Structure 1
Amino acid sequence: MHSVRWKQAVEWLAAAATDPQECKRQWDRGQGTALLAAGRYWDVLSVPDRLGLLALDLLWQDPLELPGPTLVDVTARRVGFFLPTDPGSEWVGFGVRHVSRGSWVAVPPPYRPAGRLEWLVPPDGNGTLHAAEPLERALRRATGTLAVLAPVSADPAVADRW
């Protein structure tokens, strides 16, 4: 069952590559990531990791809204939410980047991490993506929570004195 799901996820992801067959060969050889075109099948909303991890946790709390593919870059400290393409959308917030048509995203295969990139929620192979409205609600709630916590933890030197 899992191998069928991974195969579907690989096909779905590789479809966004310039050369899907070469993309799959590189992943099979364990050669890390592939650059995939955003804005064709999906966009990516990239946010700072603390915000993204908290928002993802909030999304998991709703049993009716399963999260879509979510990628973490542990070095850049960013979380990327894969969502439907929407050239007219405007995502606004500190550190928020909407990656769409004309941009590329480094993506590991769905079945293993590659260097600094790892799937928090791998693609399911059916094209499931984050719905924009629940994602926006979760990000707003997470922002509010972090705003309350920020004054306490903003300056590590001060926090060490407590």
Structure 2
Amino acid sequence: MPELGCAMREIEPANAGAHWIAQAHEQPAQVWEEWASNLAVALLPAGRTWDAVAMSSSRMQAVAEVLGQGMARVPLLTDLTVDRTYVLVPAGTAETWTEPDTTPIGAGFWLVASKPGGRQVPAGTWVQEPGLMTQLADPDALRAALNRTTENS
């Protein structure tokens, strides 16, 4: 998976992840305005620069244990109010995703997210924030880890 583009490397490191995630929106400035509001969350569209795979937080923990370092630079967003964790994967993944006990989030769907590096809100908390070395999860590795955790339970 490619890392952040060269242009993104010119942005101050503390905000690189926020800039990267804001670029998923057709109007990145709107994302920044939403983060600056009293709610401190923005709606981010899936399907443009990434899709997401949703699962319970406990399932995500098991998957992360299987993948180990393979998850080190993958952004993970969680909604603590409903115990769902979202793994960011390449755009288009949701169209063919069929793994049981997970939900593909693609074009036409939106995620609520706090600003990476900013105040975190329960409905959109970053477990692993995007940053300078962000990578999207490899869908095949994620599938394999999900299948392995299913076999072990």
Which residue of 1 is the match for residue 72 of structure 2? Answer: 66
Counterpart in the other structure of 2:148:
141
**Aligned-partner Cα distance in 1 for 2:92–2:22:** 21
TM superposition score normalised by structure 2? 0.79
Deviations 1:100-141 (A, max 9, x none): 111111111111421332211111245521111211121112
Aligned AA (2:34): Q
1:98 corresponding residue in structure 2: 104
Q: Distance in 1 between matches of 2:82 and 2:147?
A: 22
2:27 paired residue number? 19
Give the partner amino acid of 1:70: L
Q: How does 1:44-123 map to 2 (within 5 A)?
A: 44-60=52-68, 63=69, 66-86=72-92, 89-111=95-117, 112-123=119-130
For structure 2, the 5+ residue unaligned runs are 1-10
Q: What is the match of residue 5 of structure 1? A: 13
TM-score (norm 1): 0.75
Other structure's SS at 1:113 match: coil
- How far residue 23 of structure 1 moved from its aligned partner, in angstroms, is 1.5
Gaps of 5+ in 1: 148-162
Q: Find the residue that maps to 2:77 and give its secondary structure.
A: strand
| Alignment correspondent of 2:39 | 31
Check 1:44–1:87 CA distance in 2 against 1; reply closer, same or farther (3 A cut).
closer
- Structure 2 CA distance for aligned equivalents of residues 52 and 65 of structure 1: 11
- Indicate the residue corresponding to 2:6 in structure 1: none
| Distance apart, 1:24 and its partner CA | 1.1
C-alpha contact (below 8 Å) 1:59/1:66 kept by paired residues:
no
What is the identity percentage for the equivalent residue pairs of Structure 1 and Structure 2? 23
> Is 1:108–1:114's contact at 8 Å kept on the other side of the alignment?
yes
Alignment length, in residue pairs?
Answer: 142
1:94, distance to aligned residue in structure 2 (A): 3.5
1:71–1:79: 8 Å Cα contact kept in structure 2? yes
RMSD: 2.3
